[in-house]
């Protein structure tokens, strides 16, 4: 009997340990968003729509510009392996027989709609807006019906329609050339009369004015809408579709008259551009969606992994669909950071006791600080296999590849370049532990000085003891 009681106690103890481990492994990662890029290769102008059925639906431009594909998955990453279904092909002649660009899928009033751009069989670039409709619950397997041209106030080069609803009114936003003014395309908005038509006068809300919008071509195109923090934001793409392609931003108050051009303010600088350090060029034509749990905003966009292109970039097929989390500045505006490198997206580490502050390497000194606009990348790291030991990790900067958070001999933590020595590798290596102040968070124990932890002191990062309650809080972080 005593022997059986001992066995039961041991089993109960083992079960408790397993439950604690499982609790840490799940809760510590709750809400943590990470992708492996690219999501889908050779798919430009991506559009990802998260529906109430638990699926993400994706459309995009294919390199041949001859068809519309649709795929779905229960996660954004799952779109990588989802089988695409061709739901429509261009006509063999006449209208909708030319280039087929930038399809977007939306769910409106119980039906599915795809807005897309199409040229004619005799002039592939005589592009206009068109719509498809599907009444099936699953649009991948359902039948699609052509609903014809979505007419604007005049006939000209027209592309990249998107739609959104605000305060009970549905709007269409698109790009179009105005024959009366210079430039290739401007952005327009109009009220919609049902899902397939606009009503009233279209309003020009943006035209290429800055030099970064007019490299190669004078372009404002590819609008995408996100509503947050009492504002309505429209991102758009500018310049030629090579490495000069970039993303700009329009902002309006959510109480403003959206059909008044003066309600929209254009940011003076692009918010997302090519980055040679991460090897991503011509990022643009994005859309917005949310993480599976709805807590994080995600930007999906395309980019190439090389700068130099032979011939017309429009026919270079290697614009790949990519995804990364976006953040929000203290003024309520979106902060996209930089287009991250191929592979797993980076992490940020939030302070337990200063939860608006993150581990940061501004001016190479490890610290916790509120991320200022333009410095998001200073707070993003790749958690890579430890430079020393086993079961360890090292924190590599995304905007200074080859540089790692490293404890120096005085205990200060700096972002230093890996010199290849065993001393550097040891000092830049940590164990990931359950958070000292909260086991659902994490702490980093030094590999070089076991029992000491990465922590902040006077907002600067150091490695030291973490015995007191305050020290434990200073050494605890949340990975995001």
Active-site residues, by number, are 45, 221
**Chain centroid offset of residue 396 CA:** 20
SS3 state of residue 170: strand
**Calpha distance 226→228 (Å, rounded):** 7
* 422 secondary structure, DSSP code: H
Residue whose C-alpha is closest to residue 170's, from 195, 203, 202: 195
Q: Does residue 408 contact residue 447 with C-beta atoms inside 8 Å?
A: no
* Per-position DSSP letters for 80-144, written without gaps between them: GTPPPEEEEE--SSSEEEEEEEEEEEEEETTEEEEEEEEEESS-TT--EEEEEEE-SSSTTTS--
* Order of all β-strands in the sheet with 158-166: 158-166, 169-176, 186-192, 198-206
Cα 128 to Cα 317: distance, rounded to the nearest angstrom = 22
d(CA 132, CA 147): 5
Cβ neighbours for 92, distance < 8 A, ≥ 6 positions apart: 121
DSSP state of 401: T
Cα 100 to the center of its chain, rounded Å: 25
* Contacting residues for 145 by C-beta, under 8 A, at least 6 apart: 132, 133, 134
Burial 268-281 (b: 16+ CB within 10 A, else e): eebbbbbbeebbbb
CA distance 215 to 303: 17
226, 210, 227: which is closest to 218 by C-alpha?
A: 210
Please, is 92 exposed, middle or buried when counting C-beta atoms within 10 Å of its C-beta (0-12, 13-18, 19+)?
exposed
């Amino acid at each position: 009997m005593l022997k059986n009681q001992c066995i039961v106690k041991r089993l109960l103890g083992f079960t408790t340990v397993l439950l604690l481990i499982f609790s840490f492994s799940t809760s510590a990662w709750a809400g943590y968003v990470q992708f492996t890029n690219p999501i889908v290769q050779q798919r430009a102008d991506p559009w990802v729509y998260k529906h109430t059925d638990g699926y993400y639906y994706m459309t995009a431009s294919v390199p041949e510009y001859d068809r519309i594909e649709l795929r779905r998955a229960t996660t954004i990453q799952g779109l990588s392996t989802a089988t695409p279904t061709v739901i429509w092909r261009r006509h063999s002649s006449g209208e909708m027989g030319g280039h087929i660009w930038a399809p977007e899928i939306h769910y409106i009033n119980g039906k599915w709609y795809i807005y897309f751009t199409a040229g004619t069989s005799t002039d592939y670039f005589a592009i206009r807006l068109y719509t498809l409709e599907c009444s099936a619950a699953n649009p991948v397997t359902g039948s699609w019906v052509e609903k014809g041209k979505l007419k604007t106030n005049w006939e000209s080069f027209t592309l990249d329609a998107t739609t959104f609803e605000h305060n009970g009114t549905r709007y269409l936003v698109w790009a179009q050339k105005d024959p009366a003014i210079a430039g290739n395309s401007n952005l327009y908005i109009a009220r919609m009369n049902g899902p397939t038509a606009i009503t009233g006068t279209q309003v020009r809300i943006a035209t290429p004015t800055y030099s970064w919008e007019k490299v190669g071509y004078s372009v404002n195109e590819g609008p995408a809408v996100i509503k947050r923090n009492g504002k309505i934001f429209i991102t758009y793409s500018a310049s030629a579709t090579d490495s000069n392609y970039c993303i700009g931003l329009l902002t309006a108050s959510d109480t403003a008259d959206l059909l008044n051009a003066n309600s929209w303010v254009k940011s003076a600088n692009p918010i997302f551009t090519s980055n040679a350090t991460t090897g991503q060029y011509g990022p643009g034509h994005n859309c917005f969606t949310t993480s599976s749990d709805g807590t994080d905003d995600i930007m999906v966009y395309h980019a190439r992994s090389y700068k130099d292109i032979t011939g017309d970039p429009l026919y270079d097929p290697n614009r790949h669909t990519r995804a990364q989390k976006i953040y929000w500045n203290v003024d309520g505006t979106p902060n996209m950071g930089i287009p991250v490198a191929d592979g797993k997206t980076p992490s940020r580490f939030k302070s337990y006791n200063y939860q608006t502050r993150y581990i940061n390497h501004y001016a190479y000194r490890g610290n916790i600080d509120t991320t200022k606009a333009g410095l998001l990348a200073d707070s993003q790291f790749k958690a890579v296999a430890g430079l020393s030991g086993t079961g360890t990790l090292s924190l590599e900067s995304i905007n200074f590849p080859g540089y790692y958070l490293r404890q120096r001999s005085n205990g200060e933590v700096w972002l230093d370049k890996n010199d290849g020595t065993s001393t550097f590798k040891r000092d830049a290596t940590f164990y990931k532990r359950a958070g000292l102040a909260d086991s659902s968070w994490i702490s980093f124990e030094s590999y070089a000085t076991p029992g000491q932890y990465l922590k902040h002191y006077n907002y600067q990062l150091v490695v030291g003891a973490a015995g007191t309650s305050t020290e434990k809080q200073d050494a605890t972080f949340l990975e995001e």
